[in-house]
Structure 1
Amino acid sequence: MRDIKTLIRTVAAVGAALGIVASAAACGSSKSSASSTKAAAVSSGSAATQVRLGYFANVTHATAVVGVAHGDFAKALGSTKLSTQVYNAGPAEMTAVLGGQLDAAYVGPSSALSAFVQSHGEALKIVAGATEGGAELVVKPSIASAADLKGKTLATPQKGNTQDVALRFWLKQQGLTANPDGSGDVSVNPQDNATTLDQFKAGHIDGAWLPEPWASRLVEEAGAKVLVDERSLWPNSQFSTTTLVVATTFLTKHPDTVRALIDGQIAANTWITSNPADAQKLVNSELKRLTGKALTDAEIQRSFSEQKVTNNPDASTLQTSLDHAVAVNLLKSTDLHGIFDLSILNAELTKNGQPTVSDAGLAKK
């Protein structure tokens, strides 16, 4: 996996090569039913022949996992082909978006921010939220406080991803250093989540800040305990873990396809909320297909209890996420105006009788 410095160099090179430019997304009208959306996608000249979607084999990406497996995306997209690619963490996924290998992606806010900052606000738009909560710092039972972490080694999914930023900022608040080069009071070791589980079991690391289901797997399989539930660090226990981003060029050229993708998400989230037991079974089945291993009943139930699916990107928290990344020297401060385009989402939510969501005034530059 590439670290944040590699991502920055890649983004800069890709931005120069592709000459990415920002453009306002056109937003047409469509029917709220899946069949009407399908007809619009077939007949509209702005519909793409294919949409390439990235997501993770995580419970925090239940919206995407269900949208694919339950057929909600395919139904809404109609004749537009859905191609998917699974990633371990956001920085590598954002490299794919910036390099033109993905049109849309489910990703954490810190990784979306990194791509936005390094492309000077041109490369992508956040068009919806997907998950709130579902991230924890889990550690060996002998660790009772932040002070006990000095001299210890912790893991995250990838340098610069949402959990990596959360861990480094929290350590800074506790008076502990965790430098991007691995030095400091606490050594942070970004790595694949499956590797983290194995290394924790073997005693090679002392804990990890992880999304679900990995936090639950360390708790249930390896005897870890929760030191920090990230929900406790945010007002009203609300923070965005997963968002839906779309390449700006794709959104500009194919707004009807983005509308269909969002319709598929709304349908998937509605089904998850209305059928929690069936949703857990479906997600678990898909995780087994994608990773080769299903979760135990305790793990899938615990994972779902730690989070919730949503269409709201919690836009008001994004500046805080950026401030945290800046504070730990992973990003430079930037103007976030233009990072959101929730116009299609809000139009489709209205058609489905659901409340609209706020962009916190960050939709326009």
Structure 2
Amino acid sequence: MRRLLPVAAAALLLAGCTAAATENELRLGYLGNLTHATAIVGVAGGFFAKALGDIQLTTQVFNAGPAEMTALLGGQLDAAYVGPSSALNGYVRSHGQALKIVAGATMGGAELVVRPSITAAGQLKGKTLATPQLGNTQDVALRYWLSQHGMRTTTDGGDVAIRPQDNATTLDQFRAGKIDGAWLPEPWASRLVVAAQAKVLVDERDLWPDGRFASTDLVVSTTFLRDHPQAVRRLIDGELAANDWVSANAGEATRTVNTELRRISGAALTDAEVTRAWDEQQVTGDPLASTVGVQADHAVTVGLMSATDLRGIVDIGPLNDALAAKGRPKVDDAGLGDKR
């Protein structure tokens, strides 16, 4: 049994789930972060379009996962690349009806970066830290880590002030001395390190067995999966092709993602920023379901979630079919597959 539901989610996620998809269209959301390299390459490199064939792909870029889940629950997206905590929020908010995690995308790629004078957790008491959005994957990670070090956080105060905000704002405020650090996905953690002289206090990989944890997964609307299973399978085929290309062409993939980040945000990363950020993460088709369950437990611990049964949030049938077709090992749902 897993437990989950953000107490502040009502302001972030819609209660209903409408289906406005058409038979020949797939509406995909993702974030303008390096941890969404699978999606960025899949779109820019034409891997999704090729796999989808006559199904039209339309895309929308978001700043953080909770807003993206609002769109999915509101029927404005059919699929989305999103952090696990945001996926869990959407699942629980819709009483287990709205979405399924069908594949992974990225593991790793998140750090707590702070001012150089801060060298230990205890020095954060009374400080102000930022995260991308209340209830997103990095927000939960920061609050849980602080709780493990004896510090209380709430949505409006606590021992450490947490300021959920746009990542670009976080960089500007760190430079201006208005915040003391942030738990961020890539490339933003690396931007603070390289461009603003922040130091790494926590590399999130160090908190997980073998350094493996899901930072981005692919979710689809339950309605879309039911009505258009072949489209979902094609999307997963496109993802696997994109990930294969990224793994085999790291240099070109880095340049492709950086070009797209410039298009999305108006500013490209420096060579130092993109090189550092790229080394902090790894693409994967495995949703790492066991770590998704643990992340749910972390959210419960910090008071952003309440009880629910998460069995059914994962559906890796299409992914395992696609892997089998390539002669690759299947992945495990860690007991979070459909209820029996």
Task: Tell me the TM-score normalized by structure 2.
Answer: 0.95
Judge conservation of contact 1:47–1:255 (CA < 8 Å) in 2: no
- Provide Cα deviations, 1:201-256, integer angstroms capped at 9, x if missing partner: 00000000000000000000000000000011111111000000000000000001
Letter in 2 for 1:117: V
Name whichever of 132-141 and 325-334 sits farther off.
325-334
The question of 1:288 aligning with 2:290 is answered: no
Partner of 2:99: 124
Judge conservation of contact 2:13–2:66 (CA < 8 Å) in 1: no
How has the CA–CA distance of structure 1 residues 159 and 10 changed in structure 2, closer, same or farther, with 3 Å as cutoff? closer
Return the match for 1:214 from 188, 192, 196: 188
Return structure 1 stretches of 4+ with deviation > 4 angstroms.
9-12
- Give the alignment of 1:242-281 within 5 angstroms: 242-281=216-255
- Give the alignment of 1:73-88 within 5 angstroms: 73-88=48-63
How many aligned residue pairs are there? 333
- Give the alignment of 1:25-64 within 5 angstroms: 48-64=23-39
Partner of 2:305: 331
- Provide Cα deviations, 1:243-280, integer angstroms capped at 9, x if missing partner: 00000000000001101110110000000000001100
Partner of 2:112: 137
C-alpha separation in 2, matches of 1:5 and 1:296: 39
C-alpha separation in 2, matches of 1:9 and 1:89: 14
How has the CA–CA distance of structure 1 residues 158 and 48 changed in structure 2, closer, same or farther, with 3 Å as cutoff? same
C-alpha separation in 2, matches of 1:185 and 1:5: 19
C-alpha separation in 2, matches of 1:107 and 1:233: 21
Return the match for 2:15 from 6, 13, 16: 13
The question of 1:356 aligning with 2:330 is answered: yes
* 3-state secondary structure, aligned to 1:14: coil
Judge conservation of contact 1:231–1:237 (CA < 8 Å) in 2: yes
Whose RCO is larger (CA < 8 A, sep 6+)? 2
Name structure 2 gaps, 5 residues minimum. Answer: 1-5
- Provide Cα deviations, 1:20-45, integer angstroms capped at 9, x if missing partner: 9xxxxxxxxxxxxxxxxxxxxxxxxx
Letter in 2 for 1:73: F
Partner of 1:343: 317
Residue 48 (structure 1) shift: 2.7
Name whichever of 292-301 and 240-249 sits farther off.
292-301
Structure 1 vs Structure 2 CA RMSD: 1.5
* 3-state secondary structure, aligned to 2:15: helix
The question of 1:306 aligning with 2:280 is answered: yes
Residue 356 (structure 1) shift: 1.3
Partner of 1:102: 77
C-alpha separation in 2, matches of 1:106 and 1:115: 13
Partner of 1:194: 168
Name structure 1 gaps, 5 residues minimum. Answer: 21-45
Residue 11 (structure 1) shift: 4.2
Judge conservation of contact 1:284–1:294 (CA < 8 Å) in 2: yes
Task: Tell me the TM-score normalized by structure 1.
Answer: 0.89
* 3-state secondary structure, aligned to 1:84: strand
